[in-house]
Amino acid sequence: MDIKSAKQRIEELRGIIEYHAKKYYDDDEPEISDFEYDMLMNELKSLEKEFPDLVTEDSMTQKVGGHVKEGFSQVTHKVPLQSLQDVFSIEELEEFDKRVKKQLNGKAVNYVVETKIDGLSVALEYIDGKFIRGATRGNGLIGEDVTENLKTIKNIPKKLNEKVNITVRGEVFIGSKEFEKMNEEREIMGETLFANARNAAAGSLRQLDSKITATRPLDIFIFNVQSLENNKFNSHNEQLNYLKKLGFNINPVHNYCTGIDEAIKAVKEIGENRDSLSFGIDGAVIKVDELDLRETLGVTAKTPRWAIAYKYPPEQKQTILKDIVCQVGRTGAITPMAILEPVRVAGSLISKTTLHNEDFVIEKDLKIGDTVIIQKAGDVIPEVVSVVKEKRTGNEKDFTMPKVCPVCGAPAVREEGEAVTRCTGIECSAKALRSIVHFSSKVGMDIDGLGYSIIEQLIDRGLIKNISDIYTLKLEDIASLKKNGKKFAQNLVDSINKSKSNDLAKLITALGIRHVGSRMARTLAKKYRTMDNLMQASFEELSMQNDIGEVTANSIYEFFRQSQTIDLLDKLKQANVNMESLEEESTDNRFEGQIFVLTGSLEKFTRDEASEIIERLGGKTSSSVSKKTTYVLAGEDAGSKLIKAQNLGITIISEEDFDNMIK
């Protein structure tokens, strides 16, 4: 490659890497895998090594990736938190050893080999044994003060076993099982899933509200002494033992090795056993053990010369795609699953893996009977990479997504613009937890005390299987969930009984009909007055309503034609759950044809209350200002919507004006 081409490619790589570094370090929302990022960085390093005149100070090879997030105080690290040089082959480890020995004039070197935890690096500062401050790595020189968030992590001691002045470095992470459970709960609650455990940990620690951090299952391993008053130790290994004595949770995998051969053996063993670890790793770290030799070796602007990180390449294997079956998740998502001829990949025996959705199967051109290549993404999740098409025999079979749910038999629907096919059955056992959580939530039937964890326990104990079972719960069943749980049980029973008298609109919302939120539910309750009337409404009648489009009308119509829906509503009727609108029919349509936009802080009404009044009087509310808007109801601190309304010449009213309009 000539220098002109090299310069063009280097500039291109720097732009790509800068973008992905921001997504990874600052936004905690990676778009590519660690391996893909490492390969881009490796290409850049190779080009800069070949063309040293093209190296610049702002290159990502010359600096640590993170920045300080707005909202946090800055902390200047007394000892920089450097990154490590990455290598990807055993030969490169041997070259590292040669460089170290050359700089030490051939002196024998001992190493400590540790797991490279996949998390967020932090520094913890203690004065007289008391935890006083903690900060993220940031750019290595300046980090974010996240002391209050770090205090929520149980394995960070607030007081050490000795009164020492010490700063240590550790890695905050989320364990593999804890990560899976957390994402499962987020899926049930309809929240965005975390891409991986590393970004979940980073995002959790960098919350501006420590109460949110406290709800996340964060853990920490301490792996280095940054500074220690009256340091009497000669080696890293001695320091690790001392850290453990002080009360720190140190990296559990640290192997003392005499020479590079033992170190390489330890690296290989970690790679072979990494699937048995309870936490994610993205490599192994090899460090010179003797502290005086570290001083001699020194550091570069970005990395220490006495340590290096070995990144395990994703191992790929060929196997046979024996079958594709469909599983139903707790949200009703129907996911194709590859059944594979068992094969060992990266230490694990893989016999099945997710195929995500119908589009993934089509994109990869997968057929039952194909020979496929699989690997473990991020060393955790097995994935199908590609098909070995030259091995096709002609006996392979196409796969098609099912038209009905494989668990309950209800229609399976993939709506336009969505990648996921979903079960539409409200009593499907596969999505019972999600259905019950939504039914009981504040926007649904508002059953106080019946939250996610309680519902999960009730299902696990076989006390409830579906929504209607809520109304058959006995006091003693609920009390058995908690020690001294009689008072809790009585409160929950009272809340369940109270929910029976909710308005029809609350019940419609609680049923979780696709595309029907609380506002649409109020419209339906106002129009049809009883559940029976709504159930009997035709598609044509529903689609003629002003607020209901054809997609929503079809969703409502099909929902009430399902045997599962009819069965559930019969059971709710038997439990004396109200099926009628409690709102008095109004002949006052003074706001008919008028559209209101609410903005700013209202004092006399909540936004929901104001919206309900407007809709009861025949009007509509919208979240955005347009030429069709009739009024903008502006409270305190009204922002861009008020400005847009003024520019469009739309009438702006105060709460006092609104109050006069509804009297």
Q: State the catalytic residues.
A: 116
Q: Which residues pair with 597 in a beta bridge?
A: 622, 632
Q: Which residues pair with 290 in a beta bridge?
A: 235
**What does the alpha-carbon distance between residue 616 and residue 620 come to, in Å, rounded to a whole number?**
9
Ordered alpha helix ranges (H), 252-323: 259-273, 291-297
Determine contact, residues 212/204, Cβ cutoff 8 Å.
Answer: yes
Question: For 444, how many CA atoms within 13 A lie in the half-sphere containing its CB?
Answer: 19
Q: Are strands 333-345 and 348-354 parallel, antiparallel or unpaired?
A: antiparallel
Cα–Cα separations (whole angstroms), residue 138 to 26, 31, 77, 340, 363: 9, 20, 10, 43, 39
72: left (phi over 0), alpha (psi -120 to 50) or beta: beta
**What does the alpha-carbon distance between residue 363 and residue 357 come to, in Å, rounded to a whole number?**
10
Tokens of 42: 């490796």
**What does the alpha-carbon distance between residue 74 and residue 358 come to, in Å, rounded to a whole number?**
47
Considering only CA atoms, which of 21, 81, 9 is closest in space to residue 45?
Answer: 9
Q: Is 27 helix (H, G, I), strand (E, B) or coil?
A: coil
Strands laid side by side in the 651-653 sheet = 620-622, 595-599, 631-634, 651-653
Burial state string for 74-108 with b = 16 or more CB within 10 A and e = fewer than 16: ebebeebbbbbbbbbeeeebeebbeebeeebeeee
State the Cα angle at 181 between 177 and 185, rounded to 5°: 170
Tally of CB atoms within 10 A around 405: 24
Q: Are strands 130-136 and 120-127 parallel, antiparallel or unpaired?
A: antiparallel
Q: What is the 3-state secondary structure (H, E, C) of 384-453?
A: EEEECHHHCCCCCECCCCCCECCCCCCEEECCCCCCCEEECCCCCHHHHHHHHHHHHCCCCCCCCCCCHH
Considering only CA atoms, which of 647, 632, 644, 645 is closest in space to residue 599?
Answer: 632
- Report CA 639 to chain centroid distance, whole Å: 31
Cα–Cα separations (whole angstroms), residue 212 to 193, 203, 334, 470: 16, 10, 31, 29
**What does the alpha-carbon distance between residue 596 and residue 22 come to, in Å, rounded to a whole number?**
40
